[in-house]
Amino acid sequence: MILTTTNTIEGFKITDYKGIVTGTSSELKTKFSFKNDKNMQIIEDLMNEAKEQAFQKLQTNASHLKANAVVGISVDVETVGGSYFFVSVTGTAVLVA
């Protein structure tokens, strides 16, 4: 599956728009001090894992719509109370040829 933040895919023609798809993921983190490089690495690893899970869900949702690409992808990261963070990935599922 092709994933892109752009609205077109060079060398491909969008033949059908299937709909908006999302993928979300959340992670719980304990309160860390941002002054410690080790803690920053742990937080970065957790965020990357959550982002990967969100992208996997996005692709699964696009596949259910019989799409072979997702265009116009945006990624949003939100934090709540300093303990949780949420990753949301949104795009338009399309069929390209």
State how far Cα 86 lies from the chain centre. 10
Per-residue pLDDT, averaged over 28-37, amounts to: 62
pLDDT band at 32 (very low <50, low <70, confident <90, very high): low
Say which CATH number the domain at 20 has. 3.30.110.70
The domain total for the chain is: 1
Q: What is the pTM of this model?
A: 0.87
Domain extent for 47: 2-96
Residue 1 pLDDT exceeds 90 = yes
The Cβ of residue 23 has, within 10 Å, a number of other Cβ atoms equal to 24
Quickly state the pLDDT bin for 68 (edges 50, 70, 90): very high
Amino acid 11: pLDDT: 97
pLDDT tens, position by position, 38-67:
777 877 888 889 999 999 999 999 999 999
